[in-house]
Amino acid sequence: MEADIGLMTLHSWTTRHMINQARAQCVRLKHSLMTTASRRPAVSATVLLVAGLAAGSGLQAAQVAQLQARAAGQQDQLDLTRREAQREVNALAARLGELQAQANRLNALGDRLTRVAQLADGEFDFNTPVGIGGAGPVQDMAARELRAGIGEVQAEFKTSGDQLSVLEALLFDRELDRNATPSRYPVAKGYITSGFGGRADPFGGGRQHHNGIDFHARTGDPVLAVADGVVSYSGVRSGYGNVVEVDHGNGYVTRYAHNSRNVVKVGDLVRIGQQIARAGSTGRSTAPHVHFEVWENGRVVNPRKFLGDQGVKRG
């Protein structure tokens, strides 16, 4: 420790000695310049000019170095700002891609709902730009405001998508119910030969209750399902001959009788308008025709109210 203190003391004495020597030299130089200036003014002016130029050159070099250092710092800051801005743009581009995907999904869903709901053509055209406008000065939008706006649009897209999905499910259920409700004739062409209710028995001449509607048909004509459903019976019943019965899953069962041949079997899924048999005159029948019945929750009902008006004439 003492050796270190001695060494530090020696260094301090050496430093003071060098400073004192430099001061003495400056004093001698000042005295020499003053003496020269008093004796030879021209030489003095030249010396002062050279000294001034040297000092000015040193000052300019220092200023240039300072400006260069400042410019380098500003460039680094600019590069950092550019990188941060690019990251922000990339993040916004990713969110924009999500919004575009959601918009495409909503457009596809809207088109499908338009078809399911059977809206008029052009009433909702999801491929046509929406008209917007407004007046007033336009100002720059801050980045945080843009992010907030995108977030709001994304939330609205999600809410709209959820609502449309619910609506799609409801419309799909409604379409299933509609397709599963008897709503067409069991023949493509023909006319009604006997209605529902009381009538004279065609064989014994007495009175009987007719549980369905008879449609004129030729042997082999297609017998068509009047709604979607599952075949619950395909075989022979007394008086009916060859019979097909379709359960529509909503309390309705339809019966098609006197067929020359059944073309479906129990368990088959049938669609509205699909052929399920060929017309004939099997069972208790006077001539080829299609006997059609509708049962609602276990009770036979008049099929007429389900058939609408399709131009089939009564005989």
Average pLDDT over residues 110-128: 64
33-42, 59-68, 247-256: least confident range: 33-42
pLDDT per residue as tens digits for the range 173-221: 777 777 788 888 999 988 899 889 888 777 676 788 889 999 999 999 9
In this structure, CATH architecture of domain 191-314: Distorted Sandwich (2.70)
20-24, 75-79, 196-200, 244-248: least confident range: 20-24
pTM over 0.75: no
What are the tokens at 74? 């500003």
Band (pLDDT 50/70/90 cuts) for residue 6 is very low
- pLDDT at residue 85 greater than cutoff 90: no
What number of CA atoms fall less than 13 Å from residue 243's CA on the CB side?
19
Could you tell me the strand order of the sheet in which 275-278 lies?
Answer: 222-224, 275-278, 261-262
230 pairs with which residues across the strands?
247, 269
